[in-house]
Structure 1
Amino acid sequence: MSHGPDNTAFYTCGAALLLICLVKVPALVRRGRDMLLSAVVLLLFDGGLVFFFAAPDSIATINRVTGVPNFAAPFAYSALAFFGGASLLLIINWRPAPPDRTRRASRVCIAAYSLAIIAINVLFWVGHAPVEQLTLFDWYYAGTPFIREMILTYLVAQGVGTMATSVLCWRWSREVTGLLRAGLRILAAGYALHVCYDVIKLVAVYGRWTGHRWSFLVDQVAPQAAAPSAALVVCGFGLPLAGSRVARSVRSVTQLRELGPLWRELKHVPTPGATRTSLPWWSSPAVRLTRRKTSIYDALLALVPYYDTAVHEQVRRAALDHGHEEADAEAAAEAAMVVAACRRRHRPGDGFAGTPAAGPWRPGALVPLSRALSSPVLSSLREHPGAPQRKQPS
């Protein structure tokens, strides 16, 4: 046919789904008995194949290589029915139910869709479809014995699976938050559009039975629902996976930047036994953040003999006199104690026996400690080493 859906959209979405599938393969290898994960991987894999096989160029190539007119039809329709079955299998393993019931339902689902796929292929070979149709197969052969039943089998099988998946994804989206909720709602919309794709084709088939020429529904209208459906399905599966990783990376990069001042203050403090080798260039931001925090903790502990509680108390009072909040004043006091300890370390014999009760190395205090290094109170301490001066009342 001279018109029809664009190949680029099919190939792009198919490649994206297969890429996401590959990302999940290592987890599947580690958890081979996880039926839920297996269903997700199967769904992604089959979804990618569906988009590849549904492209007009792929249909023409399959027909030409096999030498059988319309051989691609049962091939693509089997993949579409499998897609519906994988969706149902995913639903069965997601819903709360006793393990025995889940296993029984999974077996029934696998058996039912296996029979549907077998029926699609048997009906094609029993029927007669001699004229090649790249985009109008459903409409052109809607009245042909056996081929008609094959078309109905795949449309119903796929429609039931995608409709159930859409409903379940929407229900779950109301029970979760964050990226998972966003991904489920995108999936619900994507599967709903796929149901529209099936309904449009069924309407075209019905029109063929009643003598109406509604072929435009098959090759012009239905693809308009399939293209955004494909994009939404890709985004829905990709967002919880890639989105969470991106969010973690952004948080790690932000903390690395925030810890920069503290790291520069402490990087020359010797820490016996600590590892400070360079990380490989491909190390993730999370790994770099862990290494930086470890190095900072080691340096802070190495400065323990040089901490002066008097510096801590004096800077804290000075910060409060300058209008700082209690938390900010405490952070500034600890930062001042660290700066003074770094200087004192270079003066032999000038050490102290202990530290304040709330040491600057406690978990969660590194970022406030790093920010406090830019406090005006510390600027005064750097310029005039010694006891900070309290603000005089006006």
Structure 2
Amino acid sequence: MSSGPSSLGFYVTGTLLLLACAMKLPALVRRRHDTLLQAACLLLFSAACLMLLAAPESIVAINRLTRIPNATAPLVYAMTTAFSGATLVLIVNWRSSREQTRRITRLVAGAYSLTIIAILVLFWAGDASVEQVTLFDAYYAGTPYIREMIVTYLVAQAVAMTAASTLCWRWSAKVRGSLRAGLRILAPAYLFIVSYDLIRLVAVAGRWSGRNWDFLIGEVSPQLAVPSSVLGAAGFALPLAGPRLAATARALRQLKQLAPLWKALEHVPTPGAIRVPLPWWRTPPTVLLTGRRTALHDAILALAPYCDPAVHQAAYSADLRHGSQESRAAVAANAAMILVARERQRTAPEEVRDTSHASTWRSDDLVHLSQALASPVVQRVCEQYGPPRRTTSP
């Protein structure tokens, strides 16, 4: 029995793939007729079983449990073929139109189902009585029926992976974002598997010609199994997680941009508005952003009765003289007016100005408003139009 690679990498990868498959089961129950989802679950399950069964320790355990030498070989090869077929079905359903998918799915499913049956029949017809944990393909490369089984599974997988890699690469040129990134990861992941198949076929052909290239099977090809599985899982996960990650990144960026405005208006009283505490450490960024935007709009609305058009005009004119464009000057004017209104609400809440213009006035984009707070023009106008002095009745 030859020493082989450690089983740990196989078990870790297989467990992660099983967890990914389990996460999709609730969706599969709800959408039982979704061919794309079915193919995804089959791919993840077959890949997980393949990694768990192909671990050297699993091979020995199953052989001992069944009392059949090399009983794991047809199981692993059948799972390999199922994985290959599921990969092609998934890629086709992912990309093609509904009419194309039905026809191609039936063709692929039929072809690879027959291949699995052929593998099992060939193993039953052949003689593989000497246990081989890591060098099965090389040891039985010349055994009738067993050699045909070996070539069948390697060719079936190589054809499917080559087709999948080609489809992914061509499709990636037509899409953008996380889907493109996922496809660009999947294409080389499948080429890793093609390389795995070709290396083993070379070793098998070496046995046919009397050469001993068993190290290609025992040492070289196993090194490609784990990275190809990890890349494959990442390639499928990225298009699913990508939009959510992008939304989270956008939310975090906007939260950072809104920080100056939030700091300025956080403690503005907003009668009638309900503020729910949203601790940042346990609130998703997208939810936190929505809550913060709502609170800022409520604060600006509460300050509307204290907004002074004279402050707005002064800041607008000053910013134009400072060299700003009209749109930026308008944002700076609103920022100055809001800051002055905040101080007037704080120091003289009873002195409410004419609100006839408040209902028609609308705030600019909050991010632009927040960025305008740093303008030196806004700071000067705020100092000039600070809170008015209180007057006493005669």
- TM-score normalized by the length of structure 1: 0.89
Asked whether 1:354 is paired with 2:353, we answer: no
Equivalent residue letter for 2:252 = V
C-alpha distance in structure 1 between counterparts of 2:361 and 2:208, whole Å: 82
Going from structure 1 to structure 2, the CA distance change for 1:273 and 1:59 (only over 3 Å counts) comes to: farther
Contact 1:308 1:355 in 2 (8 A): no
C-alpha distance in structure 2 between counterparts of 1:191 and 1:275, whole Å: 54
Partner in structure 1 of residue 135 of structure 2: 136
After the TM superposition, which of the residue ranges 316-325 and 171-180 deviates more from structure 2?
316-325
Equivalent residue letter for 2:10 = F
* Residue 220 of structure 1, CA deviation: 1.7
Partner in structure 1 of residue 50 of structure 2: 50
Contact 2:311 2:381 in 1 (8 A): no
Equivalent residue letter for 1:179 = S
* Residue 325 of structure 1, CA deviation: 4.0
Going from structure 1 to structure 2, the CA distance change for 1:101 and 1:381 (only over 3 Å counts) comes to: closer
Asked whether 1:82 is paired with 2:85, we answer: no
C-alpha distance in structure 2 between counterparts of 1:321 and 1:32, whole Å: 66
Partner in structure 1 of residue 286 of structure 2: 286
* Residue 272 of structure 1, CA deviation: 4.2
C-alpha distance in structure 2 between counterparts of 1:223 and 1:51, whole Å: 11
Equivalent residue letter for 2:353 = G
Runs of 4+ in 1 over 4 A off after TM superposition: none
Instruction: Output aligned runs, 1:175-190, within 5 Å.
Output: 175-190=174-189
Identical amino acids, percent of aligned pairs: 53
C-alpha distance in structure 1 between counterparts of 2:135 and 2:272, whole Å: 72
C-alpha distance in structure 2 between counterparts of 1:376 and 1:170, whole Å: 52
Instruction: Output aligned runs, 1:313-328, within 5 Å.
Output: 313-328=313-328
Deviations 1:220-262 (A, max 9, x none): 2212333432332233223323344333222212211221221
C-alpha distance in structure 2 between counterparts of 1:351 and 1:45, whole Å: 68
C-alpha distance in structure 1 between counterparts of 2:112 and 2:299, whole Å: 62
Aligned residues: 383
C-alpha distance in structure 2 between counterparts of 1:371 and 1:19, whole Å: 44
After the TM superposition, which of the residue ranges 151-160 and 325-334 deviates more from structure 2?
325-334
Partner in structure 2 of residue 262 of structure 1: 261
Measured on the aligned residues, the alpha-carbon RMSD in Å equals 2.4
Unaligned segments of structure 2, at least 5 residues: 388-394
Contact 2:311 2:385 in 1 (8 A): no
Going from structure 1 to structure 2, the CA distance change for 1:66 and 1:279 (only over 3 Å counts) comes to: farther
Unaligned segments of structure 1, at least 5 residues: 388-394
Equivalent residue letter for 1:10 = F
SS of equivalent residue, structure 1 residue 259: helix
Instruction: Output aligned runs, 1:1-394, within 5 Å.
Output: 1-97=1-97, 99-279=98-278, 282-345=282-345, 346-352=348-354, 353-355=356-358, 359-360=362-363, 362=364, 365-386=365-386
Equivalent residue letter for 1:147 = I
C-alpha distance in structure 1 between counterparts of 2:307 and 2:136, whole Å: 82
SS of equivalent residue, structure 2 residue 134: coil
Going from structure 1 to structure 2, the CA distance change for 1:5 and 1:243 (only over 3 Å counts) comes to: farther
Deviations 1:374-394 (A, max 9, x none): 22223224444349xxxxxxx
Going from structure 1 to structure 2, the CA distance change for 1:95 and 1:322 (only over 3 Å counts) comes to: closer
* Residue 286 of structure 1, CA deviation: 0.8
Going from structure 1 to structure 2, the CA distance change for 1:266 and 1:27 (only over 3 Å counts) comes to: farther
Deviations 1:239-293 (A, max 9, x none): 3233443332222122112212212222233334433122375331111111111
SS of equivalent residue, structure 2 residue 33: coil
After the TM superposition, which of the residue ranges 301-310 and 131-140 deviates more from structure 2?
301-310
Equivalent residue letter for 1:222 = S
Contact 2:81 2:153 in 1 (8 A): yes
C-alpha distance in structure 2 between counterparts of 1:91 and 1:268, whole Å: 53
After the TM superposition, which of the residue ranges 332-341 and 110-119 deviates more from structure 2?
110-119
Deviations 1:8-40 (A, max 9, x none): 332333333334334444444444332123212
Going from structure 1 to structure 2, the CA distance change for 1:47 and 1:358 (only over 3 Å counts) comes to: farther
C-alpha distance in structure 1 between counterparts of 2:252 and 2:329, whole Å: 26
- TM-score normalized by the length of structure 2: 0.89
Deviations 1:289-317 (A, max 9, x none): 11111111222223232222221121111
